[in-house]
Chain A
C-alpha cells in the first residue's frame, strides 16, 4: 500500500466510506438496473425521463461541489461559476457539432449548420481539433482552468475579496454572456449549439447512451467528491479554511494566500467545466443563457441550502433545490420564483449552515431547552 493510497483511504472514516460506496452504488448501479431491467408497469421502474433528470442533477451537484470548494472553504463567493460550467459545455458542444458531419440541414461536412447559414467559408481557427476526443477532453479542462487562472490571478493578487470578488466574477460571466450572444463569435450566437446526433459513435437519443451518460455523471461526481475531499483534508485545505476565517493573519504568518486561493479556484473551475461537459449531451443544447449571472447566483443558493463548508452539503443542496424546481415548475410555474426567492431569504436568515447544519442547530436548541428546564427545576 503506497503512501497515496493510504492517504486516500484515510479521507473518510469506515462509516464514511460505507455511506459513500452505498450512495455511489445506488446512483450508478441501482437506478440504471431499475430502468433497464424492470418492466415499464412495475412500481420499481425508473422511467427514461427520470434517468436524464437525475443525470442533470448529478451535473448540477458537481457544479455545486466546485463552488463549495471556493466559497465554503476558501471564503471567495464566485458568482461566475456558471461561466466555467458553460465553457466546459461549449467545448463538449463543439465536439458534438463536429460529430454531426453531413447529417446537418445543409449537409455540409466541413461546417456546422449555423456557419453555413451565416455564409462562412471555413471553420474559425479555434474550432480546430474539436473533431478529436482527446483534444476536446483537454479543452473541457483547459479552457475553464485558463480563464479561472487569469481572472483569479488578477483578482487575488490585488487582494480583491468578499463582495468585490463576487461582483468581478459576476461581471466576468456577464461579459462572456454578451460575447457568446454575438453571431460573429462563431459559437452559434443566440441559439447556441444544438441538434447533436451522437457521442463517440453512439446515438444520443438511444436509451443505452442516456444510461451511460448518467453513469458517467455519477462516477464523475464521485471522483470530484474524492478530489475535493483530498484537497480539503490536506494541509492546503487547512490553510484555505484559515484564509476563509482570517485572511490577513494567514498572510502575516507567511503562507502564500494568493497561490492557495488561485489553486483552489482553478481546480474548482475544472470541476465546473467537467460538469458542464457532461450536462450538454444529456440536455442536448448549450446556449449563452447558461452564462447569465442569475444562473451562477442560483448555484450559490444550492450550496447555501445544502450547507456550505461541507462537501456533502453542496451535493445535497443541488439535489434538493433542483428537485423542488422540477416539482414546482411542473405544478405551478408562477410559484417557483416565490419559492426560490423565499429560499434565498430563509436560508440566509435562519439556516446559515444549511440542511446539513440543521441537525446541529436543532440539537443545540434542544440542549438549550433541556438546560432551561433543568435551571427551572433547580430554581
Chain B
C-alpha cells in the first residue's frame, strides 16, 4: 500500500510541475498565433515561421487551417479561431485549448486571407513540421512539399531530417530532393556533388529529367560531363528494363502459345491427325473452369474460393480428354491416312462444339475471376513490374511441358505411345492394343488443350469463339518448331511469342502478327520440317 501511495504522490508532483510550463507554453503559443492576424503577406509568412519555430505540436493544425483558408479572427475579441463550415454558419474551435466554441455567422469573423506565394511558403513550413511525423507516408508528402520550395532553409531542414531518417524509401526521396535543390546551386562544386550523389541512387526517368538540362547546357565542363555520363547510364538502364519487359511479355505470350500447342504437338505431331477442333478443346477447358468457379461460388464458403482454379485443372483435363477420346473412337479413327478428310471432319466437329457451347451458355463472354493469390504484380526491379497471372502462366506452361515430356519418356503408356507411332504393326505384334493407345493419345492431347483453356481463362475472355483465336497460331507453332518434337514446340512457341512482342512496338499488333506469319511461310520454304526436324526413318513416314 505505501508504495502505491508514493507513486500517486510522485505523479501528482509531476503534474503540478508540468502545469506552469504548460501555461507558459500556452502564452507563447497564443502570442505567436496572434501574430498571424497581421496585414501583408510577407508579415504573415514571418508570423507563420515564428509559430512553427515555437515547436508546439498545436501549430501544425493551425497552419494547415490557414493554408486551407479556415483560420479566422473573431471580431468580438480579436481571438484567432479555427472555423469549419457547418451549414450556413461556421463551427469554431479554439486553436489553443482545442475547445469547441460553438458556431458563429461569417459576418462575425474576419478571414485571415492567403495568396499563392503564402500558400507555397505555408506548404513548406507545414512540410518542415510534418517531416517529424511518425507516419512514413506523411513524411514522404512532407519531403515533396518542402522540395517544391527551393530555399536554403528548406534544404537545411531536409538535411537535418535526413540525419535521423530511418525509412529507406523516405531517405532516397530526401536525398533526391536535396540533390535536385543542389543542382540549381550557383556553385559548380555543389552541382557536381549533387550529380554524383544522384548517380549513386536510383536510375529512374525522373532522375534523368532532373539531370538532362545540366548535361545539355551547364556552364561547368566537369558538371556537364558528369551529367552526360549519368544520363547515358540511365538511358542504358531504361533500355535494359524495356528489353526485359518486352522479353517477359514475349515469354508470356509464348507460354500461352506453348500451352495451346502442346496438345497439338501430340495429336498432330505424334499421331499426324490434323485436329481443327483443337481450339474447341481449349474452349471446353475454359468453360470447365467457368463451371467449377460457379459451383464454388454456389456451394462452398468464400474462404476456399481461391482453390477453384486448382480444382478446375484436373476437371478440364478430364472433360476435354473424354471428349477427345469420344471423337477419336467415333469419327477420327475412320479417317486415318486421309489427312485432308480429317481436317474437314474435325472442322465440322469444331463448328458443332461451338454451337453446343453457345446453346448452353449463350454467346456473350463469361467472366472467370482471377483468384486472390494470382492478382497483383511483382516489381522485380524498379520500373519492371510483372503481373502475377502472367508469371503463373509461364511457370504453368513449363510445368505442363515437363510433365508431358516425363510422361512420354518414363511411363508405360508413354512407351506404348512411342512404340505405336514408330512402328504400328510391330507394336501390335508385341501385344499393344494400338487402337486403345490411339484413343488415349488423342485423349491426352485434348486433355492438355483443356488444361490450356483453364490457363487462358485467366488472361482473356471466355467465349464460344475462344478456340478460333488460337488455332492458326498453334498450327504455326507446331509447324515452325518441327512436327513431332516437344522441344520444337517449346522453341517455336517462345521464339514466336518474343518476336511478336518485339515487333509490336514498332509495327503495331496486327502488322507484327502479319510479319510473323509471312516469316513462317518463308521459313518453311527453307526448312520444310521445322526447327527441330525428326531424323531417320520416322521422318519419312
Contacts and interface: CB of A to CB of B under 8 A. Distances in A.
B221 interface: no
A163 interface: yes
A349 B334 contact: yes
Contacts of A172: 517, 521
A182 B334 CA distance: 42
B467 to A, nearest CB: 12
Given A341-B355, A343-B348, A345-B348, A168 B521 contact: yes
B68 interface: no
Contacts of B290: none
Given A154-B522, A172-B521, A341-B351, A179 B514 contact: yes
A48 B342 CA distance: 40
Nearest to A340: B351
From DSSP, what is the main secondary structure of chain B's interface residues?
helix
Interface in A253-302: 293-294, 297, 300-301
Contact of A337 (B344, B345, B355): B355
Nearest to A292: B468
B343 A158 contact: no
B377 to A, nearest CB: 30
Interface in A150-205: 151, 154, 157-160, 162-164, 166-168, 170-172, 174-175, 178-179, 181-182
A231 to B, nearest CB: 21
B70 to A, nearest CB: 51
Contacts of B521: 151, 154, 168, 171-172
Contact of B518 (A163, A175, A182, A300): A175
Contacts of B342: 348
Interface stretch (B130-138, B309-317, B471-479): B471-479
Contact of B510 (A157, A167, A179, A297): A179
Contacts, number: 112
B358 interface: yes
Interface string B490-513: 000000000000000000101101
Contact of A162 (B331, B340, B347): B340
Contacts of B524: 158, 160, 164, 168
A122 interface: no
Given A160-B528, A163-B340, A171-B520, A348 B335 contact: yes
A341 B340 contact: no
A175 B517 contact: yes
Contacts of A341: 347-352, 355
Given A154-B521, A304-B344, A340-B348, A178 B339 contact: no
A179 to B, nearest CB: 5
Interface in B350-370: 350-352, 354-355, 358-359
B43 interface: no
Contacts of B338: 348
A167 B521 CA distance: 10
Interface residues of A, number: 42
B525 interface: yes
A159 B525 CA distance: 9
Contacts of B340: 71, 77, 162-163, 166
B347 A297 contact: yes
A49 interface: no
B359 A334 contact: yes
A167 B275 CA distance: 12
Interface of B: 274, 276, 331, 334-335, 338-345, 347-352, 354-355, 358-359, 468, 472, 475-476, 479, 508, 510-511, 513-514, 517-518, 520-522, 524-525, 528
16 contacts: A158-B524, A162-B339, A166-B343, A170-B472, A170-B475, A171-B521, A172-B521, A182-B508, A334-B358, A337-B352, A343-B348, A344-B348, A348-B344, A349-B331, A349-B334, A349-B335
Given A167-B475, A337-B354, 16 more contacts: A162-B339, A162-B340, A163-B343, A164-B524, A166-B274, A171-B472, A171-B475, A171-B476, A297-B344, A301-B347, A338-B351, A338-B352, A344-B348, A344-B349, A345-B348, A348-B348
